[in-house]
Amino acid sequence: MNETVLSIAGLTAGYGSGDILQGASLEVRRGDVVGVLGRNGVGKTTLMRTVMGLTPSSAGSITHNGADVTGLDAEERAVRGFGYVPQGRMVFPHMSVEDNLRIGALERGRNWRRLEDMYQRFPRLRERRRQRAGTLSGGEQEMLVIARALVGDPDILLLDEPSEGVQPNIVKDIGALINELNQTGITVLLVEQNVELMQAAARVGYVMEKGRITQALSEADMHDGERLRHVLSL
Amino acid sequence: MDGVLSVLYQFGTNAAFLLLSAIGLIVILGMMNIINLAHGELMMIGAYVASSLYHSGVPFAACVVVSFFAVALVGVALERVLIRRFYGRELQALVVTWGVSLILAQGALLAFGPFLASIPIPFGSGTVGTFSFSWYWIALIVLALLLVAGLWFLYYRTAFGLRARATMQEREMAQALGVKTGRVYMLTFALGSGLAGLAGALMAPTTTIAPYMGQQYVAPAFITVVTGGSANVIAGALGSTGFLSLAETPFTIWFGTFIGIVAMLLASLVLIRLLPKGLSEWIQRRWLS
């Protein structure tokens, strides 16, 4: 079995009163695509923000490649290889597409050649490299934030609902893209409520309900669309 | 011919005055959204440093450079001790910086008395026909433009600039990409303070060096920054100083300085009414995207 890249145990976090995350635990192994399936409001985004270090945790631990990173802030986690693709995209709207990519590489070794790799993978971004990121379409912005995370050659990619607000045909493209990335060895943690994307991209998964991970989904479970849809209707 | 030169000169000096008054504020307000009411006092400190050094025999150019670094250090101290506790709380930051401004001005009065020895205007004056001008003001016009060019270079061509723009636009996302945003804020505040100090030193020969001298620069500085807007601070700085001194200059020439300032205020009111996000948003929409 492959080594564990990311391990979360009993993670509790929230904003002010009431924890949104109530003791979530999961594991991601190297080279895997792990999906976390849950309805709106169960704490998926808080889970990702807490893993990234943007929302402070009040209990539990986050371990990356065997090292406890719970006490590190987001900057240090990013430098260690957490690549974050937030929900709602968060491009730098007044910066050019190219500058959005450059900032992704800046604190991760300044390997500017990887910009060229990204332009090869996403020719649309090359066409629009001088354009301000805020003027791109939703699908193009999604490509840009994924490319911005990839240009830093992340050790683990955290994808927070990439299907949100993009057209159905682009959701298919995102699924294919995740598979392609996984072929090159990238480890992915994906949270979603889109069953099609989950099935297309994730090999194994978890179910999240009310701030907790309630079941693990095996490879066989992931093929069972009925079961996944049932999870969402709970 | 002399008349044209005279109008151009008046326009240039008005614009340079606004640009130098505002440049430190542009960085701090535009990049950090901190309304720094101590801006004028930072300029005052710059002038004080320059005057003290000048009268102990240091060449004026060196005084100006030292003022930049000295006031930048004051900025670092202010940011670490006070300002960083108020990010995202604009009104509280405004009150805090107002308090700082009172303490600095009153402190200068207590420590150095009501006046400091003035600095004579360098370079003398020149004439073309009947038109006479001060070489120092010509130098200030050039320097103001060089400072803006330098800021542009810093923000659009260096790693610091990339980090600073990203931090300003989406702080959390910048953090999640590894940018040490706390450090960016500290350096930005230091830069803005340093530029205020530099401007204060540059203005020192043109005015009386006194504890409350900063006041005369604060209002024009804020008007310049608000008229420029924050969509693109560099374009905003150039656009608004150009626009405001265009409004001010003819009235100054025909009716005197006071009416000139009134005209400038009215022009900025009308502009903000028509373009609430400032000139730079309009410039960006029209020409830069």
Per-residue pLDDT of A5-42, as tens digits, reads 999 999 998 776 677 888 899 999 999 999 999 988 88
Encoding tokens for residue A94?
């007044």
Task: Kindly determine whether residue B180 and residue A75, on different chains, have CB atoms separated by under 8 Å.
Answer: yes
Which residue among B165, B174, B178 places its CB closest to the CB of A108?
B178
* Interface residue A132 vs chain B (CB under 8 A): yes
Taken in order A74, A78, A80, A81, is the CA torsion positive or negative? positive
Does A167 reside within a domain?
A: yes
Consecutive 10-residue averages of pLDDT for chain B (289 residues): 83 90 90 90 95 93 96 96 88 93 93 85 85 89 94 93 92 95 94 96 91 90 88 85 91 89 91 88 78
Per-residue pLDDT of A178-220, as tens digits, reads 999 999 989 999 999 998 899 999 999 999 998 899 989 988 8
Chain A residues near residue B176 by CB distance under 8 angstroms: 52-54, 74, 78, 82, 84, 86
Chain A residues near residue B165 by CB distance under 8 angstroms: 92, 94-95, 99
Domain-wise residue ranges, chain B:
2-213
What's the pLDDT score for residue B144?
A: 94
Encoding tokens for residue B201?
């030193």
Could you tell me which chain A residue has the CA closest to the CA of B159?
Answer: A106
3-class DSSP assignment, residue A166: coil
Nearest by Cα to B130 from B1, B13, B258:
B1
* Interface residue B159 vs chain A (CB under 8 A): yes
Domain with residue A186: its CATH number is 3.40.50.300
How far apart, in Å, are the Cα atoms of B99 and each of B18, B43, B95, B216?
Answer: 24, 16, 6, 18
Could you tell me which chain A residue has the CA closest to the CA of B169?
Answer: A92
Task: Kindly determine whether residue B179 and residue A102, on different chains, have CB atoms separated by under 8 Å.
Answer: no
Q: What is the value of ipTM here, to two decimals?
A: 0.91
The whole-angstrom separation of Cα A135 and Cα B138 is: 41
Nearest by Cα to A195 from A157, A227, A156:
A227
* Residue span of the structural domain in which A34 resides: 4-81+155-233
Contacts of A43 (CB under 8 A, 6+ apart): A20, A21, A22, A24, A208, A210, A211
* Interface residue B287 vs chain A (CB under 8 A): no
Per-residue pLDDT of A80-118, as tens digits, reads 999 999 988 799 998 999 999 999 999 998 888 999 999
Nearest by Cα to B280 from B233, B221, B224, B245:
B233
- Does residue B60 contact residue B54 with C-beta atoms inside 8 Å? yes
How many independent structural domains does chain A possess? 1
Does A88 reside within a domain?
A: no
Task: Please give the interface size between A and B, counted as residue pairs whose CB atoms are below 8 Å apart.
Answer: 71
Does A12 reside within a domain?
A: yes
How far apart, in Å, are the Cα atoms of B125 and each of A76, B9, B253?
Answer: 57, 13, 20
What's the pLDDT score for residue A191?
A: 94
For chain B, how far is it from start to end, CA to CA, in angstroms?
39
Does A134 reside within a domain?
A: no
What's the pLDDT score for residue A125?
A: 94
* Interface residue B57 vs chain A (CB under 8 A): no
Task: Kindly determine whether residue B289 and residue A131, on different chains, have CB atoms separated by under 8 Å.
Answer: yes
Interface test with B, best of A15, A72, A97, A103 (most B CBs within 10 A): A103
Chain B residues near residue A147 by CB distance under 8 angstroms: none
Q: Could you say which residues from 142 to 181 on chain A have a Cβ atom under 8 Å away from some Cβ of chain B?
A: 148, 152
Give the relative orientation of helices B159-169 and A97-106 as an angle to the nearest 10 degrees.
110
What's the pLDDT score for residue B10?
A: 86
Does A71 reside within a domain?
A: yes
What's the pLDDT score for residue B131?
A: 83
